[in-house]
Amino acid sequence: MIKILGVERERVLDAEWLDNGPGWVGLLLDHADSVLKLRPDATAHPGRWDIGVIGAHDVGSETAFELRAFFTEGDGPLLEDPVTGSLNAAAAEWLIATERAIAPYVAAQGTAMGRRGRIHISVDDHALWVGGRAEVVLSGTAVL
């Protein structure tokens, strides 16, 4: 995993299988900057990959965590999803259960892709909630 991500082993604080439907190998890195600097390459490691990477921002930042979601489809190249509800939900469960996060908080995703995804995590007596805002950037119909 660390070879695919191109990250030094000492930057990895913890790893966990994150699964709330779609499963992810979750890696917690030492800082959000380490997450943003990743330049993953899976060409030397063919196969199916679903990797979620998390790093905390500094206390007082606009967002508590930076997340990135890398995946493959079949034998295709490693891709990145700009905002991933399933990863954020499973990561929130892990981070809260291990007392690395206290809800409510806001996570960032898509930053490395030039996107500004903001994922709002909250909890109540019965559930963990994942929310955010979506913007329609294209609307219309297509004849296939």
CA distance linking residue 137 with residue 114, whole number of Å: 15
| Cβ proximity of 57 and 64 under 8 Å | yes
Q: Where residue 3 falls among pLDDT bands split at 50, 70, 90?
A: very high
Structural domains of the chain, ranges and CATH numbers in brackets: 2-131 (3.10.310.10)
State the average pLDDT for the chain.
94
Do 88 and 65 meet the contact criterion of CB atoms below 8 Å apart? Answer: no
Q: How confident is the model at residue 6 (pLDDT cuts 50, 70, 90)?
A: very high
What pTM, to 2 d.p., does this model score?
0.90
Q: What is the pLDDT of residues 45-102, one digit of tens each?
A: 888 999 999 999 999 999 999 999 999 987 789 999 999 999 999 999 999 999 999 9
